[in-house]
Amino acid sequence: MSPLEILREFQDHEDLVVRLAKLEIDSTRLTEYESFLTEEIKEAVAKEPGVLTMYAVQDQTKPHHVTIMEIYANDSAYQAHLNTPHFLKYKNGTREMVNSLELIDLDPIVFGVRDN
Amino acid sequence: MSPLEILREFQDHEDLVVRLAKLEIDSTRLTEYESFLTEEIKEAVAKEPGVLTMYAVQDQTKPHHVTIMEIYANDSAYQAHLNTPHFLKYKNGTREMVNSLELIDLDPIVFGVRDN
């Protein structure tokens, strides 16, 4: 079953872990932070079957306010993610750039994604 | 080009409109609100080529705090969306249930979505 099918039929996948990470980044190091984040997310969705989506965005008026919507297949996929080399590289590499981090656990209401 | 290809290659699609809608819903009418929202989102991604994704979620600890991440192909797709029958039905039908609404305009950093 593809990630998109899982998202659309989330009612049948009670184990999904959905989370919003809200970060405030040191503005003077934002470009550097974005480079770490981009590499980490690309590796995660390429290598980890349990990482379904990671949407990383920044406020237009406050670009150092970064939000990431993360969807994992289940909690063990999330726990495994925390121990991957790419996550640890990101976490350790950006530690000094992140001024604050808030994690919000979410439940899906509906995931709408176009087919084509 | 599929919506997922557009998301992955967002650098080539400068017109993308990405937005976070943060709503506080009257808790006593949350189920009713969710039903309007689900219908609206399913119709939008099914009928509007310019509506790429709409991820609607609620805080686990405060389920009446609803967040929707919306991605449109461009501003005219977004403007067209505002005049569709399904959006107007949602907007008019839920007016009394929405205590507050904040719209945050975003820029993508990276959209990670698994293929399979």
pLDDT, one tens digit for every residue, chain B (116 residues):
777 788 878 777 778 999 999 999 999 999 999 999 999 999 999 999 999 999 999 999 999 999 999 999 999 999 999 999 999 999 999 999 999 999 999 999 999 988 87
Domain contains B83: yes
Domain contains B111: no
Is-contact A4 A45, C-beta < 8 A? no
Domain contains B113: no
Domain contains B28: yes
Q: Could you give the C-alpha distances from A30 to A27, A37, A94, A107, B61, in angstroms and in order?
A: 5, 10, 10, 30, 31
Q: Domain count of chain A? A: 1
Q: Which residues of A touch B (CB under 8 A)?
A: 2-4, 18, 20, 34, 37-38, 41-42, 44-45, 49, 51-61, 63, 66-67, 69, 104-116
Domain contains B8: yes
CA distance B86 to chain A (A): 14
Domain contains B115: no
* Rounded to 5°, angle at Cα B105 from A45 and B29: 90
Residue of chain A minimizing CA distance to B47: A114
Q: What residue numbers bound the domain in which B81 lies?
A: 3-106
The predicted-structure confidence for A8-60, as pLDDT tens digits, reads as follows: 787 777 789 999 999 999 999 999 999 999 999 999 999 999 999 999 999 99
Interchain proximity B3–A116, CB inside 8 Å: yes
Domain contains A38: yes
State the pTM of this model: 0.93
Say if the ipTM goes beyond 0.90: yes
CA distance B1 to chain A (A): 7
Specify the CATH number for the domain of residue A20. Answer: 3.30.70.100
Domain contains A2: no
Contacts of A43 in chain B (CB under 8 A): none
CA distance B40 to chain A (A): 10
Contacts of A111 in chain B (CB under 8 A): 53-56
